[in-house]
């Protein structure tokens, strides 16, 4: 496709706020972010994003340095806010029970069963400190409202703050918390449902219903997410009151993403049109393409609480991915996956930007 002419786009509060040319944000992937894809979206005029789920301070600093080497354009770094319902530990008997339920997968891959760790997630305070020290153009948050001190520290460093809402009430709370813009994430979105005021199952609002209500309820710019994969979705989002779009699945299918070839191929297949909401892989509700794990662990009693389940499946998912074993991987995907037509970040960007008026 012909590279877009950014002079033809109308500037929006989002583009001016974030210092970008085009109102497109890359959805931050918790486990399959890549420096190459983040840089490609930023270099293409949008806002590349990189998800730091599970990263400690050292990994955050190294990755931020790699991003600065890869692009001189603005990018966002993303963090998960602790909700307070994380299971910090279980006793040995429960750990052994949950591990035993996953034993067939470890055996199939020839991996020994893991021993109980001292902790399942890195320290959030350490993550925040390292992220702010990296001084990205933007820091984005999911699963809550960042603490006032965090917002203040970010602003003092010249960093813009994005929050993510799945309901109008969450968007209002984020605005009150001082964020600069809000991502309105409809239930069509792939990956985890990042609700925080009510349970995720009670916060399943579609993008077309959510975006205009959020736009009416807050004064800060709104970024529409969920069910957007081509120019038509972009045009619709703008008509509903959004000033930018956030797109995940369409970029996940590109060569620049960290998704393995078998995963990317699946996103172009009919299977991508049959996503489900499941807790099987992580213990939290997320949208993805069903596979053996989601089917086997349909009974909630088979699933450890978050983040224990995510940690446990994370011991075998990388090996499954390296072998292209889609039955034992996380296959996050949004409901617009059947609209994907392009396999490079540049072509996806060009398609999306064709919908910007």
Beta 24-26 vs 244-247: how paired, if at all?
A: parallel
Residue 5 has pLDDT above 60, yes or no: no
The whole-model pTM stands at: 0.95
d(CA 238, CA 253): 24
In degrees, rounded to 5, the angle at the alpha carbon of residue 52 between the alpha carbons of residues 46 and 53 is 130
Q: What is the pLDDT of residue 334?
A: 98
Give the position of tokens 């890359």.
26
Residue 45 gets the label, from left (phi > 0), alpha (psi -120 to 50) or beta, of left
- Among 204, 246, 240, which residue's Cα sits nearest to residue 76? 246
Residue 235 has pLDDT above 60, yes or no: yes
pLDDT in tens, 166-207: 999 999 999 999 999 999 999 999 999 999 999 999 999 999
d(CA 64, CA 76): 10
* Averaged confidence pLDDT in the chain: 95
Q: What is the pLDDT of residue 1?
A: 46
d(CA 206, CA 258): 28
Whether 200 and 283 have beta carbons less than 8 Å apart is answered as: no
Instruction: List, in sequence order, every residue forming a beta bridge with 276; answer none if it has no partner.
Output: 288
3-state helix/strand/coil string of 14-64: HHHHHCCCCCEEECCCCCCCCHHHHHHHHHCCCEEEEECCCCCHHHHHHHH
Q: Name the phi and psi angles at 191, rounded to 5.
A: 80, -160
For the residues 156-168, what does the mean pLDDT come to?
98
pLDDT in tens, 306-335: 999 999 999 999 999 999 999 999 999 999
Torsion (CA) 101, 102, 107, 113 in degrees, nearest 10: -100
Distances, alpha carbon 243 to alpha carbons 141, 234, 335, in Å = 19, 10, 22
Distances, alpha carbon 161 to alpha carbons 169, 185, 336, in Å = 18, 16, 27
More confident residue, 245 or 10: 245
């Amino acid at each position: 496709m012909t590279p877009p002419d950014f002079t033809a786009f109308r500037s929006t509060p989002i583009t001016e706020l974030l210092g970008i040319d085009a109102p497109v944000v890359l959805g931050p992937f918790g486990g399959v972010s890549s420096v190459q894809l983040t840089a490609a979206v930023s270099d293409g005029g949008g806002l590349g994003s990189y998800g730091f789920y599970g990263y400690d301070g050292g990994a955050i600093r190294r990755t931020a340095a790699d991003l600065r080497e890869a692009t001189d354009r603005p990018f966002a770094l993303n963090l998960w806010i602790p909700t307070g319902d994380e299971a910090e530990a279980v006793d040995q008997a429960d750990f052994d029970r949950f591990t035993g339920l996953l034993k067939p997968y470890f055996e199939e891959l020839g991996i020994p069963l893991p021993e109980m760790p001292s902790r399942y997630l890195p320290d959030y305070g350490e993550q925040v400190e390292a992220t702010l020290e990296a001084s990205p153009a933007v820091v984005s948050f999911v699963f809550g409202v960042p603490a006032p001190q965090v917002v203040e520290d970010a602003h003092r460093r010249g960093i813009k703050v994005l929050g993510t809402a799945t309901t109008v009430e969450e968007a209002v709370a984020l605005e009150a918390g001082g964020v600069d813009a809000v991502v309105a994430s409809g239930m069509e979105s792939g990956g985890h449902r990042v609700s925080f005021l009510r349970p995720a199952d009670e916060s399943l609002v579609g993008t077309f219903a959510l975006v205009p209500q959020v736009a009416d309820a807050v004064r800060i710019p709104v970024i529409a997410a969920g069910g957007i994969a081509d120019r038509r979705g972009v045009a619709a989002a703008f008509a509903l009151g959004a000033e930018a779009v956030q797109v995940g699945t369409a970029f996940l299918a590109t060569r620049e993403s960290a998704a393995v070839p078998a995963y990317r191929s699946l996103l172009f297949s009919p299977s991508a049109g049959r996503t489900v909401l499941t807790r099987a892989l992580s213990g939290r509700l997320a949208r993805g393409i069903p596979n053996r794990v989601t089917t086997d662990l349909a009974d909630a009693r088979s699933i450890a609480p978050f983040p224990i389940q995510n940690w446990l499946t994370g011991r075998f998912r990388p090996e499954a991915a390296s072998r292209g074993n889609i039955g034992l991987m996380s296959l996050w995907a949004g409901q617009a996956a059947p609209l994907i037509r392009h396999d490079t970040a540049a072509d996806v960007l060009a398609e999306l930007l064709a919908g910007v008026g």
